[in-house]
Structure 1
Amino acid sequence: MLKLGILVAVAVFLETVSATSLGVVYTDGGKVKGKNIRLGFRRHMDVFRGIPFADIPGRFEKPKRHPGWDGVLKATEYRNRCMQVNLLLTDTRGSEDCLYLNIWVPHGRSVSTGLPVMVWIYGGAFMAGGSMGANFLENYLYSGQEIADRGDVIVVTLGYRVGALGFLSTGESDLPGNYGLWDQQAAIAWVNRNIRSFGGDPDRITVFGESAGGVSVNLQTLTPHNKGLFKRAISQSGVALCPFAINKNPRRFAEEVAIKVNCPTDERMAPCLKMSDPAALTLAGTVSISSSPDQPIVFNLNLSPVIDGDFIPDDPSNLFNNTADIDYMYGVNDMDGHLFTGLDVLTINSPLVNTPIEDVKRLLTAYTKDQGKAGADNAYSTYTSNWGSNPSRETIKKTVVEIGTDYIFLVPIQAALYLHAANAKTGRTYSYLFSEPNRMGGIARPYPSWMGADHADDLQYLFGKPFSTPLAYWPRHRDLSGYIIAYWTKLRQNWGPQQRRSKCAHSLASVHQHWTPVRGDPS
Structure 2
Amino acid sequence: MHGDVNGNTNGEVTHMRRVLTSMGCALAAVLATAGSAAPPARTPPAGTATVRTHEGLVRGAVHDGYRTFEGVPYAAPPVGALRWAPPRPATPWTGVREATRPASACPQTPGEVPGGSTDEDCLHLNITVPGSADRARSRPVIVWLHGGGFTTGAGSSYDAHRMAVRGDVVVVTVDYRLGALGFLAHAGLPGSGTFGLADQQAALRWVRSEIGAFGGDAHDVTLAGESAGGYSVCAQLASPTAVGLFDRAIIQSGPCTGRPDRPFAPSSVPLSTARATGAGLASKVGCGSVRDVVSCLRRVDVSRLLAAQDTDQQPAHATPLLPTDPAEAIAAGHFHRVPVLIGNNHDEGNGWAAGIVQAGYPVTPDTWPDVVAAFFAPPEQAKAIVREYPVHRTDGGPVFGAAIGDADFACPTARTDELLAAHVPVWRYEFADEHAPPLTSGTPPFPLGAPHASELPYLFDLGGRPRDLTAAQHRLADTMIDYWTHFARTADPNGPSADPNGPSPDPNGPSPDPNGPSPDPDGTPSPHWPRQTVLSLVPDHVAPTRTARHRHHCAFWDSIG
TM over 0.5: yes
Aligned equivalent of 2:478: 482
Aligned equivalent of 1:36: 62
After superposing the two structures, state which structure 1 stretch, 250-259 or 84-93, moved more: 84-93
What amino acid is the match of 2:293? M
Aligned equivalent of 1:47: 68
CA distance in 1, matches of 2:115, 2:446: 35
Aligned to 2:340, what secondary structure does the other structure show? strand
Change (3 A) 1:398 1:171: farther
CA distance in 2, matches of 1:467, 1:169: 35
After superposing the two structures, state which structure 1 stretch, 143-152 or 110-119, moved more: 110-119
Q: How many aligned residue pairs are there?
A: 455
Q: How does 1:96-495 map to 2 (within 5 A)?
A: 96-107=120-131, 113-133=137-157, 142-170=158-186, 173=189, 176-242=192-258, 243=260, 244-248=266-270, 249-265=273-289, 268-287=292-311, 301=312, 303-320=313-330, 321-346=333-358, 355-369=363-377, 372-384=378-390, 391-393=392-394, 396-422=396-422, 424=423, 427-437=424-434, 446-448=443-445, 450-464=447-461, 469=466, 472-491=468-487, 492-495=491-494
Alignment check: 8 A CA contact 1:91 1:283 kept:
no
What amino acid is the match of 1:428? P
Change (3 A) 1:514 1:144: closer
Give TM-score, length-normalised by structure 1. 0.78
What amino acid is the match of 2:327? S
CA distance in 1, matches of 2:112, 2:171: 31
CA distance in 1, matches of 2:543, 2:320: 35
CA distance in 1, matches of 2:486, 2:417: 20
Two-structure CA RMSD over aligned residues (Å): 3.3
Aligned to 2:77, what secondary structure does the other structure show? coil
CA distance in 1, matches of 2:287, 2:114: 21
Change (3 A) 1:98 1:465: closer
CA distance in 2, matches of 1:269, 1:56: 22
Give TM-score, length-normalised by structure 2. 0.73
CA distance in 1, matches of 2:113, 2:164: 34
Change (3 A) 1:269 1:438: farther
CA distance in 1, matches of 2:295, 2:464: 50
- Cα shift readout 1:98-156 (whole Å, capped 9, x = no counterpart): 111111111279556221111110011111111112xxxxxxxx011111011111010
CA distance in 1, matches of 2:101, 2:48: 18
Cα deviation, residue 272, structure 1: 2.0
Change (3 A) 1:164 1:459: same
Aligned equivalent of 1:68: 92
Q: Which runs of 5+ in 1 are unaligned?
A: 1-19, 39-43, 134-141, 288-300, 519-523
Aligned to 2:71, what secondary structure does the other structure show? strand
- Cα shift readout 1:395-444 (whole Å, capped 9, x = no counterpart): x332111111122222222222222123x1xx311211112125577xx9
Alignment check: 8 A CA contact 1:438 1:454 kept:
no
CA distance in 1, matches of 2:346, 2:535: 17
What amino acid is the match of 1:330? I
CA distance in 1, matches of 2:255, 2:281: 26
Aligned to 1:127, what secondary structure does the other structure show? coil
CA distance in 2, matches of 1:124, 1:82: 12
Change (3 A) 1:318 1:356: closer
CA distance in 1, matches of 2:531, 2:546: 6
Alignment check: 8 A CA contact 1:336 1:455 kept:
yes
- Cα shift readout 1:33-77 (whole Å, capped 9, x = no counterpart): 312222xxxxx3221111110111111111001121122322211
Matched residues, percent identical? Answer: 30
Alignment check: 8 A CA contact 1:255 1:265 kept:
no
What amino acid is the match of 2:269? N
Alignment check: 8 A CA contact 1:115 1:200 kept:
yes
Aligned to 2:234, what secondary structure does the other structure show? helix
Alignment check: 8 A CA contact 2:118 2:303 kept:
no
Aligned to 2:221, what secondary structure does the other structure show? strand
Alignment check: 8 A CA contact 1:106 1:112 kept:
no
Cα deviation, residue 88, structure 1: 10
CA distance in 2, matches of 1:90, 1:498: 42
What amino acid is the match of 1:416? T
Change (3 A) 1:307 1:514: farther
Change (3 A) 1:468 1:93: closer
Aligned equivalent of 2:553: 516
Alignment check: 8 A CA contact 1:106 1:152 kept:
yes
